[in-house]
Structure 1
Amino acid sequence: MFKPGYLCQMKIEVWSDIVCPFCYIGKHNVEAALARFSESDAVELEWKSFQLDPELPKGVTYADTYQYLAQRKGIRIAQAREMTADVALSGKKAGVELNFERAIVANTWDAHRLIHLAQSVNRGNIVKEALFRAHFTDGKDISDYDTLIAVAKDAGLAEAAARTMLDSDLFAHEVTQDIQEARNLGIRGVPFFVFNRQYAVSGAQPPEVFLQTLQKAFAAWRIENPKVPLDVTDGPSCSPNGNCD
């Protein structure tokens, strides 16, 4: 027998950037909260674009995060290593591997466009995870077209669609719109999670914080979106236990 269901899903909109380690940690923490939430099937994660360094020119890369932080902040490489040591430990606790010594820093504009392409075919979360892993764990250049196409193919996207997107300005409007929307909402740092446009969580909070916010937001959303029974016309069918009638 069919159980009552929801006609739509509650959204968690997440503004983040691929070169942000706390965004990677936050992704895993909110997913850990969703894994403990009994109504997770009625919740959708929507990834929104945000660039921490939009002025970084395309084609310009830094061999590792230490080099980038040292130049951008005017500090020594040793200081940059110290700054990221605790972050790496936090990542390990969240189940992500942050190899700052391998993470190539580059412009993320095209990677964000790829995420939008993936979301248009329900592969957004897969591509987002793959881009984080490519950058932080595998030391790949996420501005490189070959890297982006490989990520797209591994996620089940058509190679031709990914190439067409990268060779055009497809989804540029969506990326720009996300960034402008972040400004309108007063978002100055990422990750930033918005639950049903009613509650927000800033930063890579522990799973317990996400779960509490999720429960509050979903309770309010459920009032406006109650479960409804499906009107089913019965006919001959088979069940997984082998019974057919």
Structure 2
Amino acid sequence: MKIEIWSDVMCPFCYIGKRRFEKSLENSPIKDKLEIEWKSFQLNPYLETDTSISIDEYLAQHKGMPLAQAQALNAQVTQMAAQEGLVYNFDKSVVANSFKAHVLTHFAKKFRKQDEVEELLFQSYFTEGKNIDDIGVLKDIATQLGLDAEAYEKAVQERSLDDEVKMDLHEARQIGVQGVPFFVYDRKYAVSGAQQLELFVQTLEKAYSEWQPEANSIQIQDTSDGPSCGPDGCD
């Protein structure tokens, strides 16, 4: 059964959602029968990488709020992440456009290493404070996973995978994705946001029990939205 995950590297709730989703699979007897595919979503496709300002300053500017309020919001998210065993260092994070990172995800897809790339991208951005728009940083991630870094760089230069990224973005609009993370189970049920573990487990069990390989429409799971990020910011 296929599970698709729309996500953006710079979305703090996407990393948290990834952990909760992974925990929902840990003791599942069907985890080996699942195909996981990461899909691209950009919270701000027009964002220009700027290493001169902090994430707190960017959030304050983007949301039109005082800097102190932005710092408090990021502190709350940091605490939420810590509950999932994640370390967020927003004081190090670089304001960066995520398109090249999404290209790397699609490059890794061809070698069945999408999940590993996503993990290292999140870690690089939120924990290590690396610039995920820097080709050198992205090539290092590719190398760590045994991928051909030069071939990835060539794909960036020739824009050979751009259409695949854009197709994900288009598909997100078509199915009504308003924010990420957004998990789609068998094109039938969806979980929006970094929901609690129990909902991930319930949705997995329900979708698998009704699994029909020919299913091709999405029916959103009737549930309240969890913490997520959208074009207007994170809630």
* TM superposition score normalised by structure 1: 0.84
Structure 2: 5+ residue stretches without partners: 215-235
Deviations, residues 151-174 of structure 1 (Å, cap 9, x unaligned)? 110011112212211222021011
Q: What is the Cα deviation at residue 223 of structure 1?
A: 8.6
The answer (yes or no) to whether the contact 2:50–2:94 under 8 Å persists in 1 is no
Residues 42/163 of structure 1: CA separation in 2 closer, same or farther (3 Å cut): same
Correspondence for 1:159: 149
Residue of structure 2 aligned with 1:120, choices 110, 115, 119: 110
CA–CA distance in 2 between the matches of 1:45 and 1:84? 29
Q: What is the Cα deviation at residue 222 of structure 1?
A: 6.6
The answer (yes or no) to whether the contact 2:139–2:150 under 8 Å persists in 1 is no
Deviations, residues 19-68 of structure 1 (Å, cap 9, x unaligned)? 000000000110110112111001121100000011113x4345421011
CA–CA distance in 2 between the matches of 1:210 and 1:152? 30
The answer (yes or no) to whether the contact 2:92–2:128 under 8 Å persists in 1 is yes
Secondary structure of 1:51's match? coil
Verify: 1:83 aligned to 2:73, yes or no: yes
Correspondence for 1:203: 193
Residues 47/135 of structure 1: CA separation in 2 closer, same or farther (3 Å cut): same
Correspondence for 1:17: 8
* TM superposition score normalised by structure 2: 0.87
Letter paired with 2:114 = G
For the pair shown, the structure with the greater C-alpha radius of gyration is 1
Q: What is the Cα deviation at residue 101 of structure 1?
A: 1.1
CA–CA distance in 1 between the matches of 2:109 and 2:32? 17
Residue of structure 2 aligned with 1:188, choices 156, 178, 193: 178
Verify: 1:213 aligned to 2:229, yes or no: no
The answer (yes or no) to whether the contact 2:117–2:142 under 8 Å persists in 1 is yes
Equivalence map 1:18-33=2 (5 Å): 18-33=9-24
CA–CA distance in 1 between the matches of 2:145 and 2:54? 26
Correspondence for 1:142: 132
Between the aligned residues of both structures, percent identity stands at: 45
Correspondence for 2:36: 45
Verify: 1:103 aligned to 2:93, yes or no: yes
CA–CA distance in 2 between the matches of 1:204 and 1:163? 32
The answer (yes or no) to whether the contact 1:12–1:196 under 8 Å persists in 2 is yes
Correspondence for 1:60: 50
CA–CA distance in 1 between the matches of 2:76 and 2:50? 27
Structure 1: 5+ residue stretches without partners: 1-9, 225-245
Letter paired with 2:19 = H
Secondary structure of 1:60's match? coil
